């Protein structure tokens, strides 16, 4: 399975933008890039996903490198509620679609 | 409200006992998944099912069993063969054609 590499932790200040990086140098042509986040003792929550083009939704933006070997999750204005573990995940499998989670990045947001 | 329910939130069992974790969804999703999470780690896939009466092993299926007799239910049994069963267990579901998985609140299993 293709793997991702993320920093163990990052810190941000409230109301500032946050850029969470992810490397996935062994990504295959059919792998989607997903981002989920998880609060302590809760299930993960979907944030965003993409294949080749940059994506925007109400929660965040996803910037995907042209060679698809890296991507960046962008939170435009961090709030205290954005403090969580953020997972960058490659999804694959066609009809047997499944996700392979890594350890993620612990984001701390300072007031 | 549609969603995924897992019960109970906390579960305690004695070593050597089998235990079944419940996962129910009313989202009308075809695919369902079971993950295990250990402290400070990411999620690892135990079993998944794309359709009723069919399921596949994930990355760490040894010591676990599942059934998928109904679309809305995907119970996970942790057997006595699982050497280190204490963990946080998460169930998820996905609509066919979508890439988004919806997760339940999880069950924290402690084997004493």
Grouping H, G, I as helix, E, B as strand and the rest as coil, residue B109 is strand
- Read off the tokens for B97: 């054609």
Note whether B71 and B30 are within 8 A (CB): yes
Q: How remote is the C-alpha of B30 from its chain's centroid? A: 15
For residue range A80-94, list pLDDT tens digits in order.
999 999 999 988 766
Nearest to A97 among B44, B88, B99 (CB): B99
Query: Which residues does chain A have within 8 Å of residue B31's beta carbon, measured at their own beta carbons?
Result: 97
CA distance A109 to A18: 9
pLDDT recorded at residue A69 = 95
Kindly tell me if the per-residue pLDDT of B112 is higher than 90: no
CA distance B8 to B109: 9
Nearest to A96 among B35, B50, B105 (CB): B50
For residue range B38-84, list pLDDT tens digits in order.
988 889 999 999 999 999 999 999 999 999 999 999 999 999 888 89
Residue B35 to residue A101, Cβ atoms within 8 A: yes
Decide which of A2 and A18 is more confident.
A18
Indicate the burial class of B6 (C-beta count within 10 angstroms; 0-12, 13-18, 19 or more).
buried
Kindly tell me if the per-residue pLDDT of A25 is higher than 60: yes
Nearest to A43 among B31, B48, B103 (CB): B103
How sure is the predictor about A68, in pLDDT bands with cuts at 50, 70 and 90?
very high
Decide which of B67 and B96 is more confident.
B67
Query: Which residues does chain A have within 8 Å of residue B59's beta carbon, measured at their own beta carbons?
Result: 100
CA distance A108 to B103: 23
Q: Which residues of B37-51 are buried (b: 16+ CB within 10 A; e: fewer)?
A: beeeebbbbbbbbbe
């Amino acid at each position: 399975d293709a793997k991702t590499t993320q920093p163990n932790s990052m810190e941000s200040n409230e109301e500032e933008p946050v850029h969470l990086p992810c490397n996935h140098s062994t990504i295959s042509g059919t792998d989607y890039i997903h981002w989920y986040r998880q609060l302590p003792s809760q299930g993960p929550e979907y944030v965003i996903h993409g294949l080749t083009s940059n994506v925007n939704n109400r929660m965040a933006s996803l910037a995907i490198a042209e060679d698809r070997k890296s991507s960046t999750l962008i939170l435009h204005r961090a709030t205290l509620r954005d403090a969580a573990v953020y997972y960058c995940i490659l999804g694959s499998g066609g009809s047997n679609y499944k996700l392979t989670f890594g350890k993620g990045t612990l984001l701390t947001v300072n007031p | 409200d549609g969603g995924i329910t897992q019960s109970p939130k906390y579960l305690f069992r004695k070593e050597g006992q089998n235990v079944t974790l419940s996962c129910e969804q009313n989202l009308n999703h075809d695919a369902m998944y079971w993950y295990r999470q250990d402290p400070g780690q990411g999620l690892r896939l135990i079993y998944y099912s794309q359709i009723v009466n069919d399921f596949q092993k994930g990355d760490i299926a040894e010591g676990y069993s599942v059934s998928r007799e109904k679309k809305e239910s995907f119970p996970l049994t942790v057997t006595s063969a699982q050497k280190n069963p204490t963990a946080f267990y998460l169930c998820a579901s996905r609509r066919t054609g979508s890439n988004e998985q919806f997760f339940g609140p999880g069950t924290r299993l402690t084997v004493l």
